[in-house]
Amino acid sequence: MGKDTGFLEYKRKNNGDVPPAERIMTFDEFHTMLMTEERRQQAGRCMNCGVPFCQSAMNLGGMVTGCPLHNLIPEWNDEVYRGHDRHAFARLHKTSNFPEFTGRVCPALCEKACMCGQYGDAVTVHDNELFLVETAYANGYIQPVVPTIRSGKRVAVVGSGPSGLAVADELNHRGHNVEVFEREDEIGGLLMYGIPNMKLDKSVIKRRKKLMEDEGVVFHTGVNVDTSKAGTLLKDFDAVVLCCGAKKARPLAAAEPGKVGGVYYAVDFLTQTTKALMDMVDSADAGKDAPDKSAESLKKHGGYIDAAGKNVVIVGGGDTGNDCIGTVIRHGAKSVTALEMMPKPPVERSASNPWPEWPKVLKTDYGHEEAIFLFGSDPRVYETTVKSVTTDKKGHIKQIETVKVAFKDGKLTEVAGSEKTLKCDLLLIAAGFIGCEDYSADAFSVKRSPRGTVVTEDGGYHIPDTKIFSAGDMHRGQSLVVWAIAEGRACAKEVDEYLMGYTNL
């Protein structure tokens, strides 16, 4: 697909980034698009592969490589190269409900399996996808598609993260009447309140919400579905789909939020910043062409956990930890240190980690780049965790003691004599999640696995002997946005078959 010799003629060229010195002054998205002709060349690098691993989602070496949505990547790359953007988007949208989300936040499992990446640089699949969906919006290719016939069946979706939205989108287009219940004031789940604005502007989520509403999906926000409401949903709806996520945060033994001042879970910290930013934008003058999302304006607005002038320590080296780094830098933190229990990954692939396995290599993300620019060094400290904390007379954290750790016989052990003391005015716990929140599962009396996920039929999404289904992180465990969407699509197919006796999804 694409140009037969494109991978030989054109070098990989990513979308650009606003320089750190400029982007840390604002919460605006900081990626810049290539010119259209350059984008067509990048799509032209897609090879005429006999077996396109990019769309395979294979489990190799214990990790998945290739797209979980099985996107028809070579097909739409070919159309982009030839200038057939409308046809290209039609092929993309056939398998992907929300490419505007994955085109911004997905780690691009597809690119890790790209044949061009075996000996050179993979095709810019991620950037091509974002170009396609934004081109589709700009040119009016995306319009409400309202079902002409309704089935008369009612489906309640609890949770409006990517899996819940995918379930709702699929079942609505099938003709069922879908209502989504969300406890927050805005839909999106972690898309809205777990991923910062500079990575995913919240107008993107609101744009999709408007489209889905125009197509017939009904959203109820500010509705916490607990035991008192679960019974009503089970009575009033023909099927209920639980997509409540896996928001039970992994605790830190040395310091518990709420008991030690200045200690917070990362998602709570990020949520407050996003809510303050959205409130600031919403309250701005309606006549402004572009809302002010500058760090300085947010500081004047207030209403969030402020890291300005503070020595910040973040526990956790994943995407959320990186997002915290970028956020505290925009707040004006005095210093930032990120503790990671795992060893530092190698810079390059090795013989034990060959293509097309997921590359277990060192990744320097936007937050790390900004910390290096601002403070002169990478903020990450590997094989280290918090051993103890020291507070002031008011119970507020003022310093921490770190310790080196090692894994021996599958157990985590501390390295004697490796303790160090760090100043710490703000401690953020970004150590991941350990399953769905108890009340969400208890409200519907569903069983949970030892991992904290909802137990369903083997290989499926239906909870036996009920009208209840589950998908996304609540069903799978903490994972990626692209996996949540894939789960939502697969779950919707099962729900449709349950309601109709067959499915054409």
Q: Where are the domains of the chain?
A: 6-138, 154-248+434-500, 263-429
C-alpha torsion 327→331→333→339, nearest 10: -20
Which of 254, 250, 252, 251 lies closest to 399 in space, CA to CA? Answer: 254
Q: 154-248+434-500 belongs to which CATH class? A: alpha beta
Which of 127, 115, 2, 94 lies closest to 49 in space, CA to CA? Answer: 115
Nearby residues of 46 by Cβ (< 8 Å), 6 or more positions away: 1, 2, 6, 7, 73, 74, 77, 78, 81, 116, 123
Q: How far apart are CA 12 and CA 5, in angstroms?
A: 14
Both tokens of residue 28?
């605006």
Asked if domains 154-248+434-500 and 263-429 share a fold, the reply is yes
Both tokens of residue 38?
């350059």
**pLDDT at site 323:** 98
Whether the CB-CB separation of 116 and 122 falls below 8 Å is answered with yes
**pLDDT at site 286:** 56
Nearby residues of 246 by Cβ (< 8 Å), 6 or more positions away: 433, 434, 435, 436, 452, 453, 473, 474, 477, 478
Which of 58, 76, 70 lies closest to 113 in space, CA to CA? Answer: 58
Whether the CB-CB separation of 64 and 57 falls below 8 Å is answered with yes
SS3 category, 179: strand
Print pLDDT tens along the chain (505 aa): 578 899 999 999 999 999 999 999 999 999 999 999 999 999 999 998 888 999 999 999 999 999 999 999 999 999 999 999 999 999 999 999 999 999 999 999 999 999 999 999 999 999 999 999 999 999 999 999 999 999 999 999 999 999 999 999 999 999 999 999 999 999 999 999 999 999 999 999 999 999 999 999 999 999 999 999 999 999 999 999 999 999 999 999 999 999 999 999 999 999 999 999 999 888 765 556 567 889 999 999 999 999 999 999 999 999 999 999 999 999 999 999 999 999 999 999 999 999 999 999 999 999 999 999 999 999 999 999 999 999 999 999 999 999 999 988 878 899 999 999 999 999 999 999 999 999 999 999 999 999 999 999 999 999 999 999 999 999 999 999 999 999 999 999 999 999 999 999 9
356 prior amide bond cis, ω within 30: yes
Q: 263-429 belongs to which CATH class? A: alpha beta
Superfamily of domain 6-138: Alpha-helical ferredoxin (1.10.1060.10)
**pLDDT at site 143:** 97
- Range 405-408, long-range pairs (CB < 8 A, 24+ positions): 405/341
